[in-house]
Structure formats: structure tokens, C-alpha cells
Structure 1
Amino acid sequence: MIHARNLTKVVWDGSIETTVLQNVNIDIEQGEYVAILGPSGSGKSTLVNTIGLIEKPTSGELFLMGHEVSRLNERQRSNLRRGGIGFVFQNFGLIDELNVYENIELPLRYLQYGKKERQSKVNAVLSKLQITHLRHFFPNQLAALQKQLVGIGRAVITQPDLIIADEPTGNLTSACGNKVMEVLSSLNEEGFTIVMSTHSAMEADRGQRVIQLFDGHIITENIKNHL
């Protein structure tokens, strides 16, 4: 499903050049739950954003669903992301002016689903995540865990091929973070492919496979044996 070959990402700050990713090679198959583990500055967010077509690599190749996508322009990447990739962000990424229902519904509006189908899909997601009672609340009325559950709802509403979760528990307490990890594991059991970045080895252990980054390099890759 995802195949990266010699991915390199170089950024410039004035005249200072920094290599954020260097010769990264990974393969992720459909239905996997892969954790990208590393400390701050290791390149893990850049890697998941590149896989999620938010960022472009400086060099190398990236194949998504059999198509080479590393050289696509922003409009082409946006078209592939829309409906095909769901994102869960550390800062939740909710739109303050929209209520819970509208935040989750928004990707369906971009894809021009009809009103009845949007209602059916959103109500099903609200029920699955046990947040139906929050449907008319706005983000500033929600606790952090509730915001992230809404973010997950928005990520899955289109039944995407891939879910990218970038430090999804970074703004949560350990107890709330554990709840989010349980939800992500449940989604993977339903068949969703998940790529998650984290600095927590304990959270990474929830995945089927852990890829550890340090200074933009893959230093270890472990397959977890979940029975």
C-alpha cells in the first residue's frame, strides 16, 4: 500500500541546511498499524506528513496504492488526500466556528455527499465514538479527550484507505491518551490502515510494527507479536 524508497527531506532556515529525513525506506501493507517512534526532532512528524501527502520529499520515491506520488503538485496531492487519507492531529485541528456534528461532517461536504447520506454517516460515527450527546457543542465547550474523539470521527467519516495520527495523545493526560489508543486499536481491528507517530514507547507498542527514527534515520524496526 505504501512504499518509500530513499526518502530524503532537506529544509533551509536562511543559509542553514538541515536534513530531516535521510534515505528512509519503508513498506506498509493494507490493514497494518505501524507506529513511528522517536524523540522530538527525529523526523517522525515529517515522515508521517510525507506519507500523508502534506509534505513533499526533497528526493526519493513514494508509492501510495500503486502510484508514485512524490512528484505530484499540491492540487494533485490534495485530491488524493481528500477522502482517501484521514488525519488525527496533536492539536485536534477542529474548526472553532463549527459544532461537533459539523466538524465531523465537513469532509463529506467537500466530497459533495447528499444531505441524507451525510446525516446517516455522521450519526453512525457519533454513536460509534459515544459522543452523540456532544453533537451541538462547539470545540471551546469540549474537554481535550472529547476534542480528539471528534478529530478521530472526522478522520474516519469518509472510510479512508489510510489514517495518519501525528502524536494523537500529545495534549492529553495519560488516562485520556489511553482511551485514544484503545479507539485507534479498535479502528485497526475494523480494517483501517493506521500510521501513527509518537515519542512514547508504550504507545508505540500498541502497533503491530514499530519503526524507530533518530536524526532522520531508521535505526530499528520491530514487528510486535499480538496474540
Structure 2
Amino acid sequence: MFRRIFITLAVVCCMVVAFTSPSEGHAAITYTYYKVQKGDSLYLIAKKYKTTVAKLKAINHKRNDMVIVGEKLKVPQVQAVKSATKKSVTAEERKLMAQLVHAETGYSEPFAGKVEVALVILNRVKHPSFPKTIKGVIYQKTKSGYAFVPVKTGKLTKIQPTKQDCAAVDRAVVLHPNDKRGSLYFYNPKITKNKWILSRPVTIRIGNHVFAK
């Protein structure tokens, strides 16, 4: 009787190992390696890859927060921020996008609205009718001056974006490769009288803004 139970448990344990091993192998492909640079710390590396110091220590089997220049650390690959052009969004571009997001949405629009404004910028970079860079899109000149009012008024570079604005930009960059709406324009229907923009196909309405393409 006991021998039969023991054999059954042994078989179950083998099955568990057989089924869990592939999943562990699958999880491993979501990580890459980062080479520690001068001035780095676990905190800064964790912030860059949208993770925590505790998680970095765990996956790298570290007992303390010390890092050594040249050391290779395992980091979450899926959190690396990439743009539609498959190039990393630079710190300058990120700040510029966040400034425009804040200028256009302020403190009144919801987070989803901020993300969609950032997506408009990224969608324009990808679209053949607009400049091919983030800076080029934001500073694009038109017959009336510039494509975005905050640039036209000269207030854009004076704006200090909030953490929420920066987070919205980061979220948009992650979402952009799979964005199905393809918003290229946005406007406030209570203010805009332009017949052309009002005739564009609406993609989504968020807060006080209507997004279109």
C-alpha cells in the first residue's frame, strides 16, 4: 500500500518538473544583460529598466547594492523603451515630448489623454506626410506658423513637465508599435472651428480632446 503511494508521488513530482522547466526557459528570454557604467547604481539601473532594486538583486543573486564598472547584470528586456523607428528615444526627445504633452493637456486632462497626445507625435514620425524625427514633428512649420500652438507662442521650452507627463510619454512609446488607432491630430471641439480638422475620421474621444486621423 505505502509502496504504491510512494510510486504515485514520485510520478507526480516528475510531471511537475517536466511541465515547469519549459516555462522557466520561456521566462529567461524576457531578460537581457546590461554592462555597468561609471556612475551607475542599482537604483539608477532599476529606474532605467522600469523595475526595482529588490528584483535586480534577486535575479542577479546579489546580497548587497554594490555594483562594479564592467559588471554584467541581468535586466528585464521587455521594459526597454523603444520607438517606432526602432531607435531608443533620447532623454532630449523624451523631455520635449513631455513638454508638449503638458502644454496641450495641462493638469485637467486624464492620463489616457496625455498618452494619446504622445502617440500622435510618434504616429506622425512614422507617417510619410510628416517629418521623420520627434523634434522635426514638434517643430514642424506650417502656413500659420507651427503645427502646435505652444511652439508657435514660444512657451514650449519654458514648460516643466510633471512625472505624469513623462510617464505618459514612456507609456506611449511602449504602446506605439501595436497602436491600431493611428491618431494624427487632436483638437478641442468647443474651440476648434476649422472645417478640415472637424471632417477628419475620429479615432477616440478622451477628456476635452477629440483625436482623429
Q: Which has the higher helix share?
A: 2
Q: Which has the higher strand share?
A: 1
TM tier relative to shorter chain: under 0.3
TM-score (norm 2): 0.26
TM-score (norm 1): 0.25
